[in-house]
Amino acid sequence: MNLVDIIIVGSGPAGMTAALYALRANKTVTVIEKETIGGQIAISPRLENFPSIMSISGEEFSDKLFEQITELGANLEIDEISKISKENDYFVLTGESDTYYAKSVILATGVKHRDLGLENEENLIGNGISYCATCDGPFFKGQ
């Protein structure tokens, strides 16, 4: 049994930020992601509302977060967790590929946009299709 201090389910900005702080506190961390490293932000063409960064693609932002946590020692597992239970003083996470053990668990599973089912929809994201008025509204100023 490989018991770690913290397992974080989800590798979006919230999950990777939690990993960053845990690693800086000298905790052992495993991040488990079922799909895309970086989560939803990874598909954003432009991120312009993060303090100190004028503009960056969501993919680049996610890559930088991932690089930072892996350099600090985070372990990444690609798996889908179907069950979390408590045994004695630790948690057992059951995935499709493996079973994981941790003293603590952080769920940072995020959200997922629902597609409209339009022809060529994936190519229109950020070029006419937006998911967040607060985030994307400034891109359409004056239009």
Question: Which residue out of 5, 98, 115, 135 is catalytically annotated?
Answer: 135
Judge contact between 34 and 78, C-beta under 8 A: yes
Which residue type sits at 10? G
**CA angle centred on 82, ends 27 and 106, rounded to 5°:** 25
Is 132 considered catalytic here?
Answer: yes
| 106, 12 Cβ separation under 8 angstroms | no
Q: Is the dihedral of CA 66, 67, 72, 74 positive or negative?
A: positive
Beta carbons within 10 angstroms of residue 54's beta carbon: 7
Distance CA 34, CA 84 (A): 15
* Given the residues 63, 89, 98, 132, the one annotated as active site: 132
Could you confirm whether 98 is annotated as catalytic?
A: no
Specify whether the backbone of 88 is left (phi greater than 0), alpha (psi in -120 to 50) or beta. Answer: left
Which of 63, 89, 115, 136 is an active site residue? 136
Which are the catalytic amino acids? 132, 135-136
